Structure 1
Amino acid sequence: MPGEMWDRVSGQGSHPGLEDVRARLLQRGTQHVEAVGLSLGINAALVEQLAREAGVTTRQFAQVWASAEAFLADLFCELANQARIDRADTQTLLTTWQYLGMRVDDLHSPKGRRGVLIDVIRTAAEYNFDVVTASSKWRTYAALSTTILSWPEGEARDRVLEALRASELSFVETMESFYRNVLPTVGYRLKPVFHNDYQPFVIAAASVIEGLGIVRATVPALVEAHFEFPADDGEHSGGDATAEAGAATETWSVAALSFIGVVDAFIEPDPEFVPEDAIARLVGGVDVTPQAL
């Protein structure tokens, strides 16, 4: 959270001792939420318990926060901020670039490029689904996003909503940069109807993965189901599940099948794709520079 926002809350945000008090109690609150889950019904007694465990006296607490509700607002803002890294899943992004570097020969043909795209989506979607939606920080973020509107209107709710909004926009910007690099590199582009605006695609793709993560809590068997499809021939999009006896098959998760549906709705092969240019980018190492908007 920006320092000036802290100053508005306490009026003493620049005091080193009070900054330490704030940091210790927010850390203890975060640990509590990660251990037992988020409850918007956290009461004053629990806040007092967390303060004792953090070594924060009643007087110190009062110097930083006017009430238990003010502390909870700051805690929820902190939880929203911490979710940014987990949602973007940097390891998946870096691994994708490394994988593309091993598939440069396939970029010379439309069939090969489709195969690379399918393999990246199937693998990355499944990994991202397993890692991101299993994260305690993401679960907290999801719970907070769906319940914060039950808070009464006022400054505290507005601040938490703003923190959630900032976290969402940060995630969208990270993933937009990633897709602007990956898709043109494998010979695809955003469909012209979207006017080079990747953000609707980012939101739709994330909603599939994170929505399944929410549903998994109640119907895990359905969400975690896998299906066998004929091995990809360069055109596979999860459509025809009929396979001849003895033919090679590929395993697809619900997350991957849903994700490829979103991808095919937003992107198309790039008719101006030049394989040599894409290969030159990949062999130069991990590319983290977004293309010009």
Structure 2
Amino acid sequence: MSEDSLVPGGPGRRRHRLSDAETEQRMLRTATEMVNRSGLTVSLEHISFEDIIRDAGVARSAVYRRWQYKDQFFSDLLKELARGSSPAIGTDNRAAVETVRRTILDHLDWLSDPGLRCALVAEVLRRGTLEEFETLHESAEWRTYLALHATFLSLPDGELRREIRSALTESEGALIARLADAYKRAAGLLGLRLRPELNASFATLARLTSATIRGLVIMAPSNVGIGDHRTQARPFGTPNAAEWSEPALGVAGLVESFLEPDPDIEWDEERTEALRHALNSEDWLST
């Protein structure tokens, strides 16, 4: 490949030579797209440096002028991946959100009974958690996010480790904040509150449920039954027995231990209609 970038459709015609900054941008963008397609492993050995150069459409000499050694490029790539890592979870999973919405609409008659409000949360999680688990399990983006954390732990102390820690801390904070906001919004709509004796926040609940799902996703390759096993059960005050997956039991157990009916809320037809109206809006989980 020549030093210059060719003009599409014009054999032999050339445009200006790419600057080092443009070369860097193209290389990192192309490598990020490759990782997002296949997922990041704990190493980057499955990503070919020469393939990145080819797909980025940049000159090898320009690349090696910017990065004398491949390890230097892959260090910059790790930082780029960490800065851009904010995988979809909870409210970003449209299928899971729709499952939650549909389940609540199907059980509006449960809400007038404080005990059944908690049972409705359990039913929502029974249906929605497995869908969330399966989405994350199949997501290359999530594999990359989890591998970045594992890679960070293996890095020696130094600037690269500090930069990746900072980027992951920022993305993790944003992820937990989104999930906590969704929990708070849903609890308010359903007339529930955090148990005061726990002195906990929705962010605490979000961290714990997120950790549970992630742990199960990590375990899944060597524990095939995690996603497939079902048990007929009637936990958490649900009125009817139903099939429960292990992810649903784990997450529902956490959520049910944190939430209780809000004693200050009197459920009536007006509140039911307000909830129905809220559920029919596209941003019903947004605060």
Structure 1: runs of 5 or more not aligned: 1-15, 238-247
Cα shift at 1:152: 1.6
TM-score by length of 2: 0.78
Would the alpha carbon gap of residues 132 and 269 (structure 1) be closer, same or farther in structure 2, given more than 3 Å must change?
same
Q: Which is higher, the Rg of structure 1 or of structure 2?
A: 2
How do 1:55-70 residues align onto structure 2 when only pairs under 5 Å count?
A: 55-62=57-64, 64-65=66-67, 67-70=69-72
How do 1:28-177 residues align onto structure 2 when only pairs under 5 Å count?
A: 28-42=30-44, 46-62=48-64, 64-65=66-67, 67-88=69-90, 89-91=92-94, 92-93=96-97, 95-97=99-101, 99-177=103-181
Letter in 1 for 2:74: L
Partner of 2:6: none
SS in 2 for 1:217: helix
Conserved 8 A contact 1:82-1:137: no
Letter in 1 for 2:245: S
Partner of 1:264: 256
TM-score by length of 1: 0.77
CA distance in 2, matches of 1:142, 1:254: 21
Would the alpha carbon gap of residues 72 and 282 (structure 1) be closer, same or farther in structure 2, given more than 3 Å must change?
farther
Conserved 8 A contact 2:30-2:55: yes
Would the alpha carbon gap of residues 127 and 51 (structure 1) be closer, same or farther in structure 2, given more than 3 Å must change?
same
Cα shift at 1:156: 1.5
SS in 1 for 2:48: helix
CA distance in 2, matches of 1:65, 1:271: 63
Cα shift at 1:39: 4.1
Count of residues in correspondence between the two structures: 264
Conserved 8 A contact 2:115-2:261: no
How do 1:113-262 residues align onto structure 2 when only pairs under 5 Å count?
A: 113-195=117-199, 197-230=201-234, 235-236=237-238, 249-262=241-254
CA distance in 1, matches of 2:22, 2:276: 45
SS in 2 for 1:84: coil
Post-superposition Cα deviations, 1:177-235, rounded to whole Å, max 9, x if no partner, equal 100110122222111134462111101101111100000011112453111124x7x71
Partner of 1:9: none
Cα shift at 1:19: 5.3
SS in 2 for 1:274: coil
Determine which of 25, 28, 33 is the counterpart of 2:27.
25
Structure 2: runs of 5 or more not aligned: 1-17
Partner of 2:266: 274
Conserved 8 A contact 1:185-1:278: no
Partner of 1:243: none
Partner of 1:242: none
Conserved 8 A contact 1:215-1:223: no
Conserved 8 A contact 1:175-1:202: yes
Post-superposition Cα deviations, 1:67-105, rounded to whole Å, max 9, x if no partner, equal 533432332234345542423433123552454344333
Would the alpha carbon gap of residues 172 and 155 (structure 1) be closer, same or farther in structure 2, given more than 3 Å must change?
same
Work out the percentage of aligned pairs sharing the same amino acid: 26
Post-superposition Cα deviations, 1:27-46, rounded to whole Å, max 9, x if no partner, equal 33234334554345446x93
Conserved 8 A contact 1:151-1:157: yes
Conserved 8 A contact 1:86-1:135: no
Cα shift at 1:138: 0.2
Conserved 8 A contact 1:104-1:279: no
Conserved 8 A contact 1:73-1:160: no
CA distance in 1, matches of 2:105, 2:133: 23
SS in 1 for 2:260: strand
Matched, 1:283 2:277: yes
CA distance in 2, matches of 1:21, 1:94: 42
CA distance in 1, matches of 2:211, 2:68: 37
Would the alpha carbon gap of residues 250 and 83 (structure 1) be closer, same or farther in structure 2, given more than 3 Å must change?
farther
Letter in 2 for 1:263: V
Conserved 8 A contact 1:186-1:278: no
